[in-house]
Amino acid sequence: MSEGAMERFDVFLIGVGGQGIGLLSEALLRAADAAGLTVRGVDTHGLAQRGGVVSSHLRIGGAAHSPMVSKGRAQLVVALERHEALRGLTEWAAPGGALVYYDAVWQPLGVRLGQAAAVEAETVDAECARRNVTCARVCVDDLPDTRMQNVAVLAEIARRELLPGVARVHYRQALGDLLGGAALEANLALFDRLAT
């Protein structure tokens, strides 16, 4: 797909500090760049040092003058935690878009204190159906390391071809730019296994 033919594609990523949203966001950004697409991005780290919410905005192709995605306009919402998946879906997803999330649970403070109900996967599924959003739940039983959840989600995005104009080779190149040595080998092996 040529840059001129591609309309703007907005991606919103959300998770909890320490889950690897920064690496996932940078991998998506670099993959789009490797595909020859214009991409703008910005991270908001919040209380990442203390397990707070971390989010990233990516705008690919088209005439995007700001890196910030408007609420309710993200064609793709990516989350690394179930509660944050529901938040990302309800606040950021565009009707007809997609949600890809890793089904991990890092209980928010309100849940731990008994002030809010825990979010179940069925709740996320139902809300996706209500909003006409495609839902992809990722959970890998034999994940070698929990720090690889972000690459499992990246593989799902690649497998479903959710970023227009970005191919598997571009995601692999992005991982090669960001990782090295044994970490790169392990993550590429996981990516290749899950992306096919």
Closest CA to 12 of 83, 65, 90: 90
Residues 6+ apart with CB under 8 A from 113: none
Q: What is the pLDDT of residues 117-171, one digit of tens each?
A: 889 999 999 999 999 999 999 999 999 999 999 999 999 999 999 999 999 999 9
Q: What DSSP designation does 144 have?
A: S
- Number of residues that make up the chain: 196
Over residues 83-99, the mean pLDDT reads 96
Tally Cβ neighbours within 10 Å of residue 194: 19
CB 123 within 8 A of CB 87: no
Which tens digit of pLDDT belongs to each residue from 4-57?
A: 456 899 999 998 877 888 999 999 999 999 999 999 999 876 544 556 778 999
Here the contacts of 108-114 (C-beta below 8 Å, separation 24 or greater) are 108/83, 111/83
* pLDDT computed for residue 36 by the predictor: 95
